[in-house]
Amino acid sequence: MNTILKLIFPLVLFALTFSACQQQSIEDLNAKWVNTHINKQTIETNAGFVAPSLTIIVSEKSVKGTDGCNRYMGLIDSLSNQYIHFGPLASSRMMCPNMKIADSYSQALYETRYYKVSKDILYLLDKDHKEILQFSKTQ
């Protein structure tokens, strides 16, 4: 029993230390993010298509970007190290040839409740912690 504890204790200590180092901060959100996936489906880019984007300014609790067709901006209602909820977003009202991506993206932003940042990837999650949007950091 004593030998098992001697083996397990360093592993547990390492795991706790490593997980503490991996804590995300709300400051990790400060960036311009380009949307790469909606509901785990890759966004196909082609000539003339602008991928949706999200710029987060934590100090102002504000967001702005494009849904692939229309520009939007608004405020973050609630924000912590894991939780994020966007307030109502103001948006332009252009009609683009393909509104499917824009509509799906806007709906996913509305459903966002949690986030996770891993290196230069931002994941936005719904109330059930299911990934609904994925972004790559651009700046």
Q: Provide DSSP, 92-113.
A: -----S--HHHHHHHHHHHH--
Task: Provide the pLDDT for residue 49.
Answer: 78
Residue 14 dihedral angles phi and psi, to the nearest 5°: -60, -45
Contact in structure between 127 and 111 (CB atoms under 8 Å): yes
Which sequence spans correspond to the domains of the chain?
24-137
User: 24-137 architecture in CATH?
Assistant: Beta Barrel (2.40)
pTM (2 d.p.) = 0.81
Quick: pLDDT tens for 73-87: 999 999 999 999 999
Going residue by residue through the chain, which has 139 residues, state the pLDDT in tens, using 9 for 90 and above: 555 545 554 544 444 434 444 577 899 999 999 999 999 999 987 767 789 999 999 999 999 999 999 999 999 999 999 999 999 999 999 888 888 999 999 999 999 999 999 999 999 999 999 999 999 999 6
Residue 47 dihedral angles phi and psi, to the nearest 5°: -55, 135
Burial class, 58, CB count within 10 angstroms (exposed 0-12 / middle 13-18 / buried 19+): middle
Task: Provide the pLDDT for residue 12.
Answer: 47
